[in-house]
Chains A and B, each alone.
Chain A
Amino acid sequence: MRSFWLLVAEAVGDAFRRRIVGGVAIAGLLSIAMLESCTGCTPSINVNGEVRELVEVRGAFGFTTFLVLGLWGIALAGVLASDHLRSTLDDGSASLFLARPVPRESFALARLTGVMGVTTVAGGIVLGIAAFLLATRSGLPVAPALSAAGACALGALTVATLAMAASLVLPRAVTVLLVLGSVGMVALANGVAPFANDAGWLAAIDRVGPPLASSMALALAPWLEGVAIPGDGVRLAARGVAWAIAALLALVFAFRRVELGR
């Protein structure tokens, strides 16, 4: 276990030193600035021909905002993971670590922890400020935001792990496109399938895929007034955990089979 924690410290430090972290910080700051601006104004808006104050749709606004930010965090984890392990194979640095009595799974999971470290800090700050602004300015309760943040973290872990496993066999650009496409597709399926009579393959994705958006949406449901979100929270959580475990097993299995230094 000691070697695992040494590798975790190294991988987290390495993740925070990457150039992409600057881009993540800028994206996070822009999100916070938009949130600050949007929660600070009180415009009148037109809903189905009826003029309403923003405060009347604050739940829907908070719901949508938090959901989009959560999906941003999930996609971010996948993008960061798309080369955090692969790069060590490409530059040969993995050989220096794995020439020590270090199990391969320790190395892979430590690199994953590095990705989750950056994601947790970035996502935690953005979602935390969002929850704070929505609570103090729009009066929305904080508890649903905490539950949704937990669901977001589980989704981020799943996507990052799958992206890391995919990166062992795919080029980085393809892995990034796969991450963005998959997160978008699952979010679309989660958003459309529960309300459509015949959603076809989107319904299949919604039923068996990782509940990336649906678990967050269900957690945030108390913010919506007069709109019921279908779904069983416990079953969604169980499916989310099952996907995370399956993803971790896939990563360990794939990394054990990788040949180093060729």
Chain B
Amino acid sequence: MVALELASVVKRYGTRAALDGVNLRLEAGSALGLLGPNGAGKTTALRLLLGFATPDSGGAALRGRDPADPESRRGVGYLPERLALPERASVRGFLRLQAGLAGLADSACEEAAERAIEQVGLRDRGHDRIGGLSKGLRQRVGFANALLGAPEVLILDEPSSGLDPLGVRDARGWIQAARERGCSVLVSSHTLSEVERICDQIAILDEGRVAASGPLATLVAPGETLEDAFVRAVRT
């Protein structure tokens, strides 16, 4: 079973190819780390998978469906890099709304929101307005949103952004917990150490192409770090 896939995808903005013949595949239950320098096409790849944009050629699939089909996003949790939460909403109110949009029954929304709040350590801040929270706490709200209703697929764009070291450690725990219950995870990040700890598969994008990909163990040569492998991939 494939959780998500890009097949020979080309996406251009004007004359510049943001993605140029990219192939990516995430098997159900696996975790794929998407690495690359700035402007390599990582966020574009996530946007295509979520149906936010359409490829110029090639195909994308999320949970076996065309991402243009809203049903493809049922059971998908997403944490964007640029997190735009409603300032005036309370944490609990926002999560209840999102739970409803995720397709949970009315009776389950309250419970799912409470569980997510509890999970990300915001038990005492549920009534707080999101606008009054620090960047790190907002990122926790973003995580709570992505984890609502125990998704089958998690798509995380720079998940440790704004988190302090304890928060980064907590976030790793939430992702690991999701993986243990069979969730497929796609993480786009610049933080190589985080990706190394979370993911079993790596794809390195450079200038819109896949410069290297495969299981972490085969990508990193003996005696090398992931950073070494990354530098080697983008400089050759």
Contacts and interface: CB of A to CB of B under 8 A. Distances in A.
Interface residues on chain A, size class: 20 to 34
A99 B50 contact: yes
Contacts of A182: none
Contact of A101 (B74, B83, B86, B145): B74
B80 A17 contact: no
Given A3-B103, A92-B80, A261-B43, A100 B71 contact: no
Contacts of A102: 70, 73, 101
A260 interface: yes
B88 to A, nearest CB: 6
Contacts of A3: 100-101, 103
A2 B100 contact: yes
A259 interface: yes
How many chain B residues sit at the interface, stated as a range, is 20 to 34
B163 to A, nearest CB: 19
A10 B98 CA distance: 11
Given A3-B100, A93-B86, A260-B47, A99 B53 contact: no
Interface string A225-262: 00000000000000000000000000000000001111
Contacts, number: 74
Nearest to B18: A262
Nearest to A98: B52
B188 to A, nearest CB: 13
A86 to B, nearest CB: 14
A260 B53 contact: yes
B101 A6 contact: yes
B85 interface: yes
A41 interface: no
B102 interface: yes
B84 A101 contact: no
Contact of B78 (A2, A10, A99): A99
Contact of B84 (A95, A103, A262): A95
A96 B85 contact: yes
A92 B82 contact: yes
Nearest to A4: B101
B100 A260 contact: no
B76 interface: yes
A91 interface: yes
5 contacts: A3-B100, A95-B50, A96-B78, A96-B98, A262-B13
Given A95-B50, A100-B101, A261-B80, 5 more contacts: A96-B145, A99-B73, A101-B74, A102-B101, A104-B70
